[in-house]
Amino acid sequence: MTNFKVIFLLGVNLFSLKSFAQTEKVKGKKNLTENRIGISEKLFKYMQAQADVNGFSGTVLVTKKDSLLLREAYGYANYEWGIKTTINTKYNLASVSKQFTAAAILQLADHKLLSLDDKLSRYFSGFPKGEQITLHMMLSHMSGLPMDFDELYLNQVSLTQDIVLNHITQKELLFTPGKQTAYSNIGYYLLARIIEKVSGKSYSKYLKENIFDKLQMYETGVMTNEDVIPYMSDRYIREGQGYKKNPFINWSFNIGHDGIYSTVEDLLKWDKSLYDTTILSDKMKQVMFTSYNEQNFGYGFLINPFYNHGHRLIGHDGGFFGAMTSLNRFTDDGLLIIVLSNNQSSSYLLAYGLAAICFGKDVELPYHHHSIKNDLSLYPYFKGNYGDIKILEKNGKLFYNSFDIELLPESDHKFFRSDDDNRTVEFIKDSYGNYTTIKLTKAGVIEERRRI
């Protein structure tokens, strides 16, 4: 009888524990779902406010592992005709294009068709100091090659590769190759031409066959001046409160560093491929995602830049005449944030704000800022050094880091920057009545600096 009781009671306890575990599992799933819904609502409100207040035009995608947190389109793909953007709108990626150039080089290296230690002179004989510049240096922005040659591809229709190469070779190196770091579009342009030399295919065709088609990225390609690209957005430059169209760009020579167009959905496919070996082997992904210098450059990506919110970040931003783009991959969290804009909206800042929301940080919604008259007698108490920020005073005005950026008052203690009203500075008193802290907002993300 005793044994029966023990068995019976044990059975009841096991049943109760099992029921409790199942209940807790359901509760856990429910809480997780509710949390994701809450984050999605915050993301939606944040981006809607960015569109309503700051005029954001573009498409945004935020996913975490297999969950879609936000996918929305805002503004206009074409202002002249009032054509609104959609999820399928295509955008020029600007410098987000570099990661595809880097991936192509790594594929060719994996197939032993080239080496990352190859010298530039192997592909362009007679290039000044080309025997000192390696493909690795070009990929990681350590080649010493200057920033750009846009004085050509922004103005001239009749260009040839020889004309462009001759022009580039006339530019002096910024430093001894491999000794310093400087961002270089020229390096990535030359990498695109090396892809063509090694593969025997055009840059566009190589990417299509070896990356885009393999990933079914059928809405992605390389810009031209001739092709009609369905659902392609026009690009607009902000000028005061209005916009003007971007200048002529000779797309035949704006490649490697720029020139790829895509959609948020196609870029989601690209992101997923970087977690497997469809496009790059594990060995080559490790090479791509290693930081090689103090500026955190890997190959086509930045590795753990300072704006990572304390989470591992692999990403890159782009900006070129209206096209402003950001692709941020928080790989340990499985979080992807893509912001593509066609009207010079600060996509990199919006991605920063969206990431902060995903990580549970307080983020202020944007609002319209209006300058008022305030108490000027407080200004002497505000000026000083706050960490890496210097608050200056001159002729009854406050300035941020230099006399080029004025702080415009919206209350006695809170100001917004004259160059970007998405950034504010608020002076906070301590318990002794002294102003010892400033509270900053950057795209709504709150940061604090203490007076030195």
Say how many C-beta atoms besides its own lie within 10 A of residue 308's C-beta: 18
Give the integer Cα–Cα distance in Å for 288 and 302: 10
> Per-residue pLDDT averaged across 362-383, rounded?
95
AA identity, residue 18: K
Query: What is the arithmetic mean of pLDDT over 108-121?
Result: 98
What b/e string do you get for 428-440 counting C-beta neighbours within 10 Å, with b at 16 or more?
eeeeeeebbebeb
DSSP 19: H
For the cut 90, the answer to whether the pLDDT of residue 316 exceeds it is yes
57-102: pLDDT as tens digits: 999 999 999 899 999 999 999 999 999 999 999 999 999 999 999 9
Q: How far apart are CA 76 and CA 334, in angstroms?
A: 30
Token readout for 134 is 């390696």
Whether 19 shows a pLDDT value over 70: the answer reads: no
Is the pLDDT confidence value at 28 over 70?
no
pLDDT, tens digit (0-9, with 9 covering 90-100), for 186-215:
999 999 999 999 999 999 999 999 999 999
Q: What's the DSSP call for residue 172?
A: P
Residues 235, 239, 241, 243: is their CA dihedral positive or negative?
negative
3-class secondary-structure state, position 270: helix
CA pair distance 27, 162, nearest whole angstrom:
66
Residue type at position 293:
N
Q: What is the mean pLDDT of the chain?
A: 92
SS3 of 389, please?
Answer: strand
Q: pTM (2 decimals)?
A: 0.90
Which tens digit of pLDDT belongs to each residue from 132-161? 999 999 999 999 999 999 999 997 889 999
